[in-house]
Chain A
Amino acid sequence: MSESEEFETLRMRLSRRMFLGRGCGLPLGATALAGLLARSRASLADRGPAGSPLAPLLPHFPATARRVIFLTQSGGPSQLELFDEKPGLETWAGQELPDSVRQGQRLTTMTASQKQLIMPSRTKFERCGQSGATIGEWLPHMKRVADDLCFIKSMYTDQINHGPAMTQFLTGNQIPGRPTAGSWVSYGLGSENRDLPDYLVLISKMQRPSDQPLYDHYWGSGFLPSRYQGVKLRNAREPVLYLRDPEGLSRELRRGMLDGLAELNDLRYEESGDPEILTRVRQYEMAFRMQTSVPELIDLRDETEATFELYGPDSRRPGSYAANCILARRLAERGVRFIQLFHPDWDHHSRLTSWCTARCRDTDQATSALITDLKRRGLLDDTLVIWGGEFGRGVAGQGNWDSPEAGRDHHPRCYTIWMAGGGIRPGMTYGATDDFSYNVAEGAMHVRDLHATVLHLLGIDHERLSYRLQGLDFRLTGVEPAQVVSQILS
């Protein structure tokens, strides 16, 4: 396709979104548009169809991270067992949580009628590395990379149930229908790889039916065009839905068919003048390339034995969290912009010592290995890694606090996440909770602050990345003030 046609296609797309003020959130005058188009034209040759319509405007300032690996732990991991050490709680064991601490916090109806009796942490903690980060004994491998991580102990959210809280954690709003952070980033920055989608999602294959489904709006593009939605890489014969040609159809035949298709579509373009046809031809070509690039991506046979040793025995099992961590690194190597893993079933309402440890075993070694691996390959510098779930867990025991049966209920007021790489200050702990890990004591970081900070690392001003819909300029961080937490930037 000639450059002029390509330019024309882009112009059409741009004009549809921007000319009339829909989509970009920046009021553009005719002069600005002309300048923008001129610039887009110059950058078209190397961007192609994977480019973002905003590419010419972004980044707003130099980025420290070029991509994100988001290790989403669904269900609400317990900060009290994993990271947020509260040795003083031993003396409070079995006593009722003081009202001065609880401050009328809402509970789920699962424990609302129960006395809030304090259950001290079920684990022992160790101070790790130079930084002395506190990590619980259920995560032995994570202790080794403690100095590469930045712990945020003062995360909080507004939601107390899984669906709304995870939706808020990922999209900034509890109600489904908004784009996820990944979609915003894909929309804003586009891809560095012409053969793979910008935003890929990997879900751990679990044998146990989990109580928290992973809705497809967790990687949906909301009101953004659907090309910005996350593409789920499945652990199945067909890693991307419909990627496999029918059995018995050779690549050569598929190629021939697409050539014929393109030729006839070109004829149609001549007759109808509809530039959308040219875009379609290009999308079929991208589909064809994905049929090669995706299987190559997921074929781990070219990984060394040492890699599997590093990521642990579970990494040999395709579909496991550990295997997905290897894939995440491969995606990062290939320049995919936003890589999101989901590991479900962190919802320990009972039997912390077997349930929570089960999920720790699934994830501990591989997560640690991913950090090590990225660092060795020089990828950690410009890859932002985020680990965290939709909320934390409460200090009160659920069930009889003193029995092995006990678990913990959801807790939105404070929890721990960590980040690493991509311009995050390594070896630090930000924020703190009170003596009960119940309220934030310092450095409160709301979900929208996290979003603002993540966008900032990617070179995006969260107030300037917006999309106009139903009369409003929507942003990932919403309308309430959001802060970039500069203390954690390196």
Chain B
Amino acid sequence: MNFSDQRKGLTVQQIQTLERWIAEGAVWGRHWAFEPVTRPQLPPDAPHPVDAFVVSRLKAEGLTLSPPAPRHTLARRTSFDITGLPPTFEEITRFEQDDSPDAWEQWVDRLLASEHFGERMAMWWLDAARYADTDGYQRDDTRTNWPWRDWVIGAFNRNLPFDQFTIEQFAGDLLEGATDEQRLATSFHRNHMTNGEGGRDPEESRIEYVIDRVNTVGTVWLGLTLGCCQCHSHKFDPIAQRDYYSLTAFFNSIDEDGSAGRSAKPYLAYTSPHVAPARREAESLVAARKTRVDAAMKNGNRRFETWLFIRTELTKEPFQPWHLVVGARLEATEGTVLTQEVDGTVVASGPNPRQDDYRVVAPVTLDRVTGIRLEVFPHESHTKGAYSRGAEGHFLLTDVKAQVRRKGDTQVRDLVIASAVADHSDDPAKHEGYGNIVHVLDDDPRNGWSTRDETEVKRHVAVFALATPLKLAADEELVFELRQRSTLGDANLARFRVSVTNQRGPAVLTVGEMPLERLWKLPAEGVEAIPDDLREQLREQYFADDAPVVAARESLARAKRQLDEVVAAEKVEVMVLAERAEPRETHLLVRGQWDKKGDKVTCDVPPAVAPWPADLPRSRLGLARWLVSRDNPLAARVFVNHVWQILFGSGLVRTPEDFGLQGERPTHPELLDWLAADFMENGWNIKRLIRQIVTSQTYQQSSRATAELLARDPQNRLLARGARYRLPSWMLRDSALRSAGLLVTTVGGPPVRPWQPDGVWEENFMGRFHYEPSDGPAQYRRSLYAFWRRAIAPTFLFDTAQRRVCEVRLSRTNTPLQALTLLNDVNYLNASYAIAVRAVRTSREPADRVREIFRTVLGRVPAEREVRVLLRESEKARQQFEQSPDETRAFLRGVSWNLEDGAPDLVVRLETDIERADLASAVLTASLILNLDEAISHE
């Protein structure tokens, strides 16, 4: 028999391993991770505990530590690891020149004391905590739990010991004399998704949340894949299904009911101290924008008065508000025959299908089209002398569409209709949803426009305003489509007329007279004769077309919306934990199904992990204390491993989510245990732990990989070199902004919206959510504060946790989409621009500029051969930019988006093409350097 053909059979190697194990006495102990943490002996002369274990392992392999990394590299490495931000060139230089014996310790301590430390750690914790600003699932409503995020930052910054950090997040509400801050901490266990979908059973959702909490505890504190036990006892680890459901009992009596959105109680009414700065900033932006609007209006008014004078005193040309669409091609999908009469009226005859789509296709000679008018006429030949040939004589228009088609072109383009008004609309509630004119814009045949409530049979009018004025080329045609697809049918228009106008603003927002129409009909002549209300209408009409006024008003409106949001954030409801008065019974769920209740269970923990101390309350508080008790073998090991992962890119256990039998064994078991024991015995002090690790030689090694070392240990499990890997994407954005001097370092506050391409939310939600990037300095906050919609993570991030369920393992891929993001995302282009402006200001010589940009981003002086390459490309770019001044202007306009408000000191007014070409080539150089592997790597 050929064993190698058996898929599930043992390999030769596995057989050998078994043989060796038997030969060695077949020792059968407990899995390492469930053994108590004891502090291994250090050799008496060990210079540093971390190095002692690492070096002894290396010695056994015939290897040594790599030489220390250059100070410059070390400065960047620690700065990224501890604060998530790069140091400046000046900081690095000072550190390099500092020859005091404790220069390194001082450098590290300074970083640990920075408030950016808390932000860096919080970003890690938020991934683990599956924190997001929306509920997830179908509705994906916004929640306001961000004060919890600020609590996390604060906790790390004040070095709250990890045991206390745990206790407060599990049971802050159960502590004696619990403060609001401690209650706030419990929001950790409310960061799960909540489901508000229509057909959902709330109890099923509630049970999902309870289960999510237990799975999160399993991953984050125990490093166990408890999720397996939802349906059956763990196949590998000593956790029974009963143990699992006993754990759920701790979370089963929260005063929640499975609701989502704004009714996901229990809540804590909370006033955040971090809103005030955001409010001040938003208010000053509004003030600045008001000034801008005032200035634009002032100039605009002069233009308006001139225009009005010309209009009334000089030209006096007759005004025609609506222009008939004549000579149209008429189409009907279902067979109605449409013909046009001389006055432009379209008449239906022939077959009378239940539903039909009419299309009016015509060239338009008007200089532009801003609105379309539809007139509906009654006629004696129609049923009851009304509007259609259907049984009742009324009409039901379900949708309208406007498109442009170029002759000979195979494709059409859709026009956006911004608004629809009519002289009369039925109340939809009285007519199965049909009635309101605005519903003809929603592409939904279950509603639409009708006029049945109007007893008098007469001409009806609807006016549609285009979102942007349309200029048709000579060979283009306007397509206006009338869809009649109602559920009931039999109500197709029999007589109608289409006209267009070139007037904007109030002219197309009502069905009444246009301002210019009124002006034209005014009995008296001259500007003086214009009544005030008409003058105001005319002014609005004029401003609707006045680009500077429009732009200023839009920018003010955005600033006001931003301010409104900030004001609304002053008092928020944060989802927290609180017990209900009457505890729920907890049951084992058969095969994990929410409605298949098995045996009753009570609060308990898996005995295989650690025993339950008799004096602990059977509550979340007790559970937290059990997790961080000295006897718990997992929490400290798992945490220390996370910190190792933060500092080395991978943990000592390479499966941070799984310390169980299916996880990997630690590369350095004794080191892990020593660190875990030391951590617990020194008050779970996080900063101390980090300091301890980064002061080792192991951490400070060079990351250079020789071919031999790569072949020998491709994954660097032996730690014979420093870790080199691409930084997380959030750090890349933050560090680009930091290098550019754009980063706004305010800590905490309501979420902000960094730039992302237009339309991303709309596409996934079919238009239900709109993303508006933050305006002004709010644009340049750290990525930690970016609004996180669960259905679509921020687009400028990649390889990120999805924040749907708890994730602690890092993903690190290398794709073309990442390259495109770093090359073209406005966040990075903005940074490139800012870096270039500074370089152009400080250095005149091209070579100096290149050096300056290089130093700004990478914190070191470039080698000559690096300068040569950069200079070559920047010179080529400069020449080309100089030859194409229009493109150069467009380029600079695009990459300097938002800077006028976001960083006014960076706005430069350039006079000549040469100056612009200079700056543009510097921008491109900065972008190149920001994309260098060195710039995006932990080295």
Contacts and interface: CB of A to CB of B under 8 A. Distances in A.
Interface in B899-939: 920, 924, 927-928, 931-934, 937, 939
B894 interface: yes
Contacts of A213: 138, 140, 764-766, 768, 791
**Residue among A260, A350, A355 with the most chain B CB within 10 A?**
A260
B155 interface: no
A1 interface: no
A226 B766 contact: no
Contact of B793 (A216, A286, A303, A304): A216
Given A213-B766, A227-B815, A271 B200 contact: no
A47 interface: no
A240 B820 contact: yes
Interface residues of A, number: 112
B660 A272 contact: no
B98 interface: no
B880 A252 contact: yes
Contacts of A280: 726, 814, 819, 933
Interface stretch (B275-283, B674-682, B698-706): B698-706
Interface stretch (B261-269, B546-554, B689-697, B823-831): B823-831
Interface stretch (B463-471, B530-538, B883-891): B883-891
A217 B802 contact: yes
Contact of B225 (A175, A203, A272, A471): A471
A345 B819 contact: no
A209 to B, nearest CB: 4
B287 interface: no
A108 B198 contact: yes
Contacts of A260: 869-870, 872-873, 928
Main SS of chain B's interface residues? loop
Nearest to B765: A213
Contact of A471 (B236, B707, B799, B928): B236
Nearest to A236: B759
A279 B814 contact: yes
A316 B763 contact: no
A249 B443 contact: no
**Residue among A208, A243, A249 with the most chain B CB within 10 A?**
A249
B413 interface: yes
Nearest to A362: B443
A471 B758 contact: no
Nearest to B8: A27
Interface stretch (B143-151, B404-412, B518-526): B404-412
B403 interface: yes
B763 A203 contact: yes
Given A260-B869, A287-B816, A471-B225, A162 B138 contact: yes
A248 B891 contact: yes
A38 interface: no
B663 interface: yes
B199 A109 contact: yes
A242 B823 contact: yes
Contact of B887 (A110, A177, A248): A248
**Residue among A12, A211, A248 with the most chain B CB within 10 A?**
A248
A90 interface: no
A342 B225 CA distance: 34
A12 B485 contact: no
Contact of A253 (B198, B409, B880, B937): B880
A197 B819 CA distance: 14
Given A317-B403, A317-B414, A241 B888 contact: no
Given A162-B138, A355-B445, A300 B410 contact: yes
B200 A209 contact: no
Interface in A38-74: none
Interface string A268-299: 11011111110110011011001100000000
Interface string B183-218: 000000000000101111100000000000000000
B413 A357 contact: no
Interface in A205-225: 205-217, 220, 225
Contacts of B657: 470
B823 A247 contact: no
Contacts of B655: 470
B486 A241 contact: no
B647 to A, nearest CB: 18
B198 A246 contact: no
Contacts of A276: 724-726, 814, 933
A140 interface: no
Given A248-B891, A470-B658, A206 B443 contact: yes
Given A161-B200, A208-B442, A264-B869, A290 B662 contact: no
Contacts of B928: 257, 260-261, 264
A29 interface: yes
Contacts of B714: 12, 15-16, 19
Given A16-B715, A274-B705, A405 B432 contact: yes
A190 B884 CA distance: 41
The interface size bin for chain B is 35 or more
A250 B887 contact: yes
B932 A177 contact: no
B198 A110 contact: yes
B22 interface: no
A68 B655 CA distance: 34
Contact of B884 (A176, A197, A250): A250
A86 B74 CA distance: 74
Interface in A396-425: 404-405, 409-410
Contact of A214 (B11, B137, B764): B764
A263 interface: yes
B474 interface: no
Given A272-B703, A284-B816, A287-B823, A354 B486 contact: yes
B91 interface: no
B816 A249 contact: no
Interface string A296-337: 000011011101100000001110000100000000000000
B824 A162 contact: no
**Residue among B140, B398, B414, B884 with the most chain A CB within 10 A?**
B414
B111 interface: no
B760 A241 contact: yes
B521 to A, nearest CB: 38
Interface string B760-800: 10011111100000000000000000000001110100110
Contact of B658 (A108, A351, A471): A471
Interface string A342-379: 00110000110111011000000000000000000000
A210 B443 CA distance: 11
B877 to A, nearest CB: 5
A224 to B, nearest CB: 10
A410 B819 CA distance: 42
Nearest to A273: B705
Interface of A: 12, 15-16, 19-20, 27, 29-30, 107-110, 160-163, 175-177, 197, 203, 205-217, 220, 225-227, 231-232, 234-236, 238, 240-250, 252-254, 256-257, 259-261, 263-265, 267-269, 271-277, 279-280, 283-284, 286-287, 290-291, 300-301, 303-305, 307-308, 316-318, 323, 344-345, 350-351, 353-355, 357-358, 404-405, 409-410, 464, 470-472
17 contacts: A109-B201, A176-B802, A197-B817, A213-B764, A216-B792, A232-B763, A241-B820, A246-B894, A248-B892, A253-B876, A253-B924, A254-B823, A283-B815, A284-B931, A287-B816, A317-B413, A470-B657
Interface of B: 7, 11-14, 137-138, 140, 195, 197-201, 225, 228, 236, 398, 403, 405, 409-414, 432, 441-446, 485-488, 655, 657-658, 660-664, 703-707, 710, 714-715, 724-726, 757-760, 763-768, 791-793, 795, 798-799, 802, 804-805, 811, 813-821, 823-825, 829, 865-866, 869-870, 872-873, 876-877, 880-881, 884, 886-895, 920, 924, 927-928, 931-934, 937, 939
A-B residue pairs, 9 tightest by C-beta: A471-B662, A108-B199, A248-B891, A207-B443, A248-B890, A210-B766, A248-B887, A260-B873, A287-B816
